Chain A
Amino acid sequence: MAYSNIFNDHLAHPRNVGELENATAVVEESNPVCGDRLRLSLVINDERIETVKFLAYGCPPTLVSGSVLTEMISGKTVQEASEITKTDLIDAIGGLPGRKHHAAALAIEVLAAALRKP
């Protein structure tokens, strides 16, 4: 399947790229099978995600999952963000081929780990 316009837009213009000096949580995980890697930096204040940045290495779905996820969680409460599922993320991207779903799964895993930080 061809990638969506949302996908191509995020690939050409990824949002919220980088790291945060004042981050309260920084988590990086990788997919050992294919080497994809995603790093998420968050500033959480009063149970709300104030700022978020990401870095990613891997196939385009991994880069796009990171970029779209940052837009989805920015400004949300920790509770709201923790309720986002892999399916929600794939829908927001405009769909992903089945064999690329692992990219969205990695993004959700990294988010969950970051939200668990005290």
Chain B
Amino acid sequence: MIHLIGPAVLASALAGIGVYGLLARRNAVLVLIGAELLLNAANLLLVTAAALPAGGLAAMPGPGAAPPTEIADPLLSGQVMAIFVITIAAAEIGVALAIILLLFRARQTADLTEVGELGEASPIGVARAAAEQPSGGPS
């Protein structure tokens, strides 16, 4: 019986690293890895919550006490959901990597800041297009 703090801190660290990767990286593969970390943080929390005793946090036994005989969720739905998440994440990885591969083939880059065409109509996109115009035609 390990203490609850361990998985909770680990999940928080995974989520924080995942958000950082998602928002701060420019390479599409690294952004994808950030998203995977976020998913795994969620998985860890699901599995942890599924192992809680009946009565929730208040019924947690103290250090050295006997482990509880009965857990909160006898159907283990937390673990089932973790399996679902893993499956969906695998599918997501397949689709996302295929997109990244095609992007790289087309542009010879996986840098997300280089592929902002969908924002052409926004002021930012317009400003960027104006800034790129003198440097030559589209590559």
Pair from one complex:
no
Residues of A within 8 A of B (CB): none
Residues of B within 8 A of A (CB): none
